[in-house]
Amino acid sequence: MAVKRTRGSGKKRLSPLQGLRARLSQAEATLEAIHTGKVDAVVVSGPGGERTLAIEGATHPYFVLLDAMSDGAALLEPDGTIVFSNGRLGEIAQAPLEGLRGSRLQQFVAPDERPGFEGFLREGAERAGAREFAMVHGGDAPPTPVRIALSTVPLGAYPGVDRAETPDGATVLMAIITDLTERKQAESTRLELMKRLVSAEDQERQRIARELHDETGQSLTALLVGLRAIEEQSLTPDVLSAAQRLRRIAARTVEDVGRLARGLHPSVLDDVGLVAAVQRHASDYAKSFGTAVDLRLEGVASLRLPPLVQTTAFRIIQEALTNVARHARARMVRVEMTHEGTKLDLVVRDDGVGFDTGATLGKASGLGLHGMQERVALLGGSIAVESGPDHGTTVHARIPCDVAAALPRRTRRRPRRESSR
């Protein structure tokens, strides 16, 4: 609805007092309509012709809608100056709305992230996008992790902006700011539970390996001794031949049980360390599968690692070699383990038949690869698998050596508070 003031013609001529009262009554009615939001614009006649002026109060329904959002919202000038913000943004930034309007959004971004935010603003003026940042507050309050999504809005399309005075093509940036505190807490909790699950799995592996070695291994050794004693007695040739055959089977079983125990959890990993465990596993692998293993270790001879990092590195090499034995039909596999700075690099490369990574990683057959990804992600590392038909496969993992620094920190939950308008 628009209120237009025009010169009447053909109306009964009023006395000056009556005319004044009529104009006063019309003005009061107009102000009441504006106050209640029934008027969205006023058409004013002047020397330059008629002009349409938008009424700020007409945008009240839009402000109510934005204030009801669970995310922060702001209209920004290209340089990041806040033109409008809703109440939720005030809560996230821990600042009154009066302090937000006219401020630059980047002043609420962590100082070390501001250069990246400036580039993000420039990109947002060209295309929509979203990135994560940390919003800082005064005092000792912890930063708030947020996701900021930017998109362009034609300036003349926004309620409350005078289209007649808006240059063609003028735009502002719409920023939607989502508080990620609870999401980060949930992710931190999930990773902590995964850490406990992996630790429990490794402890169970260690227990089973110890029982295989101590109980099953000892029983088989006793059986070997008994069969040797039978061989040494004066028996018929048939009994002697059977005893010798059974002793060979028992000896192979002892070796198999030992290999199974080392595969579950090599005791050398706890006693000596990662390097010795990898060397032992590479030697066993070459003997068991007849595949040459080129082992290259650089900067890791005297490296001391936290137990979780050590176990994760060994499991990745173990799983990668197992996949080579099962699927690659390789003649040679190279295992590289290098240490540089705070990172441990692991590379397992074979000359086998390769596979389609896109198809395999999305199927149950890729559960071994998914297990490696989960273990590396738990420590804040990364893993990449490169392969192709007849081009072999390369598994490259990078793991932080400091597990305490690698694991995400718990995000302190900050209670929401009301912000004044």
Residue 160 is predicted with a pLDDT of 46
CA distances from 284 to 221, 231, 347 (A): 20, 30, 19
Residue 185 has pLDDT above 80, yes or no: yes
pLDDT band at 404 (very low <50, low <70, confident <90, very high): very low
Mean pLDDT within 327-334:
92
Top-confidence residue, 205 or 296: 296
User: Using CA atoms, how far apart are residues 347 and 385, in angstroms rounded to an integer?
Assistant: 10
The H-or-E segment that residue 386 falls in is strand 382-387
Spatial CB neighbours of 113, under 8 Å, sequence gap ≥ 6: 133, 134
CA distances from 212 to 135, 253, 265, 280, 361 (A): 54, 12, 11, 18, 33
Residue 180 is predicted with a pLDDT of 92
Q: Are 171 and 155 in contact (CB under 8 A)?
A: yes
C-alpha neighbours within 13 Å on the C-beta side of residue 302: 0
Torsion of CA 55, 59, 60, 62, to 10 degrees: 180
Top-confidence residue, 362 or 296: 296
Instruction: Note the pLDDT tens digit of each residue in 245-274.
Output: 888 888 888 888 887 887 787 788 888 889
User: Using CA atoms, how far apart are residues 267 and 35, in angstroms rounded to an integer?
Assistant: 80
Top-confidence residue, 298 or 417: 298
Structure tokens at 34: 């504006």
Residue 2 has pLDDT above 70, yes or no: no
| β-pair type (49-54, 72-76) | unpaired
Q: Are 195 and 378 in contact (CB under 8 A)?
A: yes
Mean pLDDT within 143-162:
72
Mean pLDDT within 209-235:
80
Mean pLDDT within 19-35:
61
Give me the DSSP letters along 131-192.
Answer: EEEEE--STTPPPEEEEEEEEEEEGGGSTTS-GGGSPTT-EEEEEEEEE-HHHHHHHHHHHH
Instruction: Note the pLDDT tens digit of each residue in 70-88.
Output: 899 888 888 899 888 888 8
Residue 65 is predicted with a pLDDT of 67
Angle made by CA atoms 240, 244, 245, in degrees to the nearest 5: 115
Q: Are 198 and 403 in contact (CB under 8 A)?
A: no
pLDDT band at 141 (very low <50, low <70, confident <90, very high): confident
Residue 293 is predicted with a pLDDT of 94
User: Using CA atoms, how far apart are residues 243 and 248, in angstroms rounded to an integer?
Assistant: 9
Residue 20 is predicted with a pLDDT of 64
75, β-bridge pairs = 84, 174
User: Using CA atoms, how far apart are residues 358 and 394, in angstroms rounded to an integer?
Assistant: 14
Q: Are 244 and 231 in contact (CB under 8 A)?
A: yes
The mean pLDDT of the chain is: 77
Residue 373 has pLDDT above 90, yes or no: no
Q: Are 131 and 120 in contact (CB under 8 A)?
A: yes
Residue 134 has pLDDT above 80, yes or no: yes
Mean pLDDT within 27-37:
55
Residue 12 is predicted with a pLDDT of 57
